[in-house]
Amino acid sequence: MTAHSGKTPGWLDWHPRPSRPRFRLPEGAVDAHCHVFGPGEVFPYAPERKYTPCDASKDQLFALRDRLGLTRSVVVQATCHGADNSAMVDALRASGGTARGVATLRPDVTDAQVRELHAAGVRGVRFNFVKRLVDGAPRDDLRKIVERIAPYGWHVVVYFEAADLAGLRDFLLSVPVPLVVDHMGRPDVAQNPFGPEFESFLDLLRARPDIWCKVTCPERLSVSGPPALGGEREPYRDVVPFARRVVEEFPDRVLWGTDWPHPNLVGHMPDDGLLVDFVPHIAPTAHLRHQLLVANPTRLYWADAP
Ligand code: 0GY
């Protein structure tokens, strides 16, 4: 794709009127995985992108945050903006310190550029290994990027699918800064949460105490889907046992987020209020919920904040 040629056919726009969650979030709750898209007129989408989304501006993101009862956000650079972090940085600068960011970098990034991103509130870089989203980057390029960011205390956010973990494991374990894994490594939730595939993912988390995990995207992983209209408000129940295993075994290194505006969904667009109501099912005590929603993301992203 070379120009902003309209949304990808079949694109599902974000929910215009999410319900108010029944679960009341604790004070200081962080949305540790969300994006801004454009607006394309101001922040054009990258020529190398694999999809063209609907616009989803910082103001719309912050309005959703208020509606759901969240306090802070971590804005993760999405692949449709490539390594042009302007839209994400614009959101951080407008947030008055209530948003941090995760950037995409090229290996020729300069120290001055990393310093400027750090000053804007960026605290991590994302390595995306999902083949439908990006063309793969050579491992040496990724190592160069890690050398640039390590002095700033940043971490690497990694996005991969369960089938690709075996081929990535050695590389991931060799990265000399903390790692944050997106969406539980995208398990196939039709499998047993105690079966070999998910066990192998948990082994990655067991291998180092500085590997964090986002228990996010039930709407992306679920086969059973959201509750049927008029049904019980127990969202995405087939994802619950997977996320709950991670929360209970690694309570001090799990993160939660909305993934708003939910790029590339097929079939249904989640009601963001329901995503909040997923939380008490995966974190059954007030203490676990405080770690997941407040203490952990605050430690990782606002450690230097007053
Ligand atoms: C997500 C998931 C997806 C997309 C991206 O950067 C992106 O384009 O992350 C996806 O399509 O699974 O985390 O937003």
pLDDT tens-digit readout, 196-211: 999 999 999 999 999 9
Q: What is the mean pLDDT of residues 32-38?
A: 98
Residue 209 backbone class (left: φ over 0; alpha: ψ -120 to 50; beta: rest): alpha
Let me know if 75 is exposed, middle or buried by CB neighbors in 10 A (0-12, 13-18, 19+): buried
Question: Which backbone phi and psi does 242 adopt, to 5 degrees?
Answer: -70, -50
Give every strand in the sheet of 179-181, ordered side by side.
Answer: 30-34, 72-76, 99-103, 122-128, 155-159, 179-181, 211-214, 254-255
In a domain, 24, yes or no: no
pLDDT of residue 234: 73
Active-site residue, from 31, 259, 272, 277: 259
CA–centroid distance, 78 to ligand 1, in Å, is: 6
C-alpha of residue 132 to centroid of ligand 1, in Å: 10
Residue 230 lies in a domain: yes
CB under 8 Å, gap of 24 or more: what pairs does 217-220 form? Answer: 217/182, 217/183, 217/184, 217/186, 217/259, 218/243, 218/275, 218/278, 219/259, 219/262, 219/265, 219/268, 219/270, 219/275, 220/183, 220/186, 220/259, 220/262, 220/265
* Domain limits for position 206: 30-301
**Percent of the chain whose pLDDT exceeds 90:** 93
Query: Ligand 1 center to residue 282 CA distance, Å?
Result: 22
Mean pLDDT of the chain: 95
Any ligand 1 atom below 6 A from CB of 133: yes
- Mean pLDDT, residues 206-228 taken together: 93
pLDDT score, position 103: 98
d(CA 190, CA 198): 11
Model confidence at 20: pLDDT above 60? yes
Q: How many whole angstroms separate alpha carbon 303 and alpha carbon 291?
A: 15
Q: Is a pLDDT exceeding 90 seen at residue 226?
A: no
Question: What is the position in ligand 1's atom list of the atom closest to the CA of 216?
Answer: 13
Distance CA(104)–CA(127), nearest Å, equals: 7
CATH code of the domain covering residue 211:
3.20.20.140
Confidence of residue 3 (pLDDT cuts 50, 70, 90): very low
Residue corresponding to tokens 């991670």: 246
The fraction of the chain above a pLDDT of 70, given in percent, is: 96
- The model's confidence at residue 306, banded by pLDDT at 50, 70 and 90, is confident
- Site to probe by mutation for ligand 1, drawn from 11, 79, 256 as the one with most ligand atoms within 8 Å of Cβ, is 79
Half-sphere exposure of 226 (CA within 13 A, CB side): 17
In sequence order, what are the residues at sequence separation of 6 or more whose Cβ sits closer than 8 angstroms to the Cβ of residue 252? Answer: 291, 295, 296
Give me 271's structure tokens: 């009601």
Res 232: pLDDT? 60
**CB of 263 shorter than 6 A to ligand 1:** yes
CA of 133, closest atom in ligand 1? 8
Contact 171, 146 (CB under 8 A): no
Q: Helix 139-149 to helix 111-120 angle, to the nearest 10 degrees?
A: 60
| 108 counts as catalytic | no
The answer on pLDDT for 1 being more than 70 is no
**What pLDDT digit, counting tens, does each position of 146-180 carry?**
999 999 999 999 999 999 999 999 999 999 999 99
Amino acid at 123: R
Judge whether 277 lies within some domain.
Answer: yes
158 lines ligand 1 (CB under 6 A): no
Q: How confident is the model at residue 262 (pLDDT cuts 50, 70, 90)?
A: very high
- Position 281 in a domain: yes
Residue identifier of the C-alpha nearest atom 3 of ligand 1? 263
**Is residue 243 included in any domain, yes or no?**
yes
Supply the pLDDT for residue 5: 56
pTM, rounded to two decimals: 0.96
- For β-strands 122-128 and 155-159, DSSP reports them as parallel
Is residue 13, in this structure, part of any structural domain at all? no
CB 102 within 8 A of CB 77: yes
- Residue 80 belongs to a domain: yes
The 10s digit of each residue's pLDDT in 91-121 is 999 999 999 999 999 999 999 999 999 999 9
What is the predicted pLDDT for the residue at 89? Answer: 98
Instruction: Report if residue 3 sits inside a domain.
Output: no
User: Among 50, 85, 128, 130, which is best to mutate for testing ligand 1, by the most ligand atoms less than 8 A from CB?
Assistant: 130
Rg (CA), the chain: 18
pLDDT in tens, 42-59: 999 999 999 999 999 999
**Tally of domains in the chain:** 1
| Residue 234, SS3 per DSSP | coil
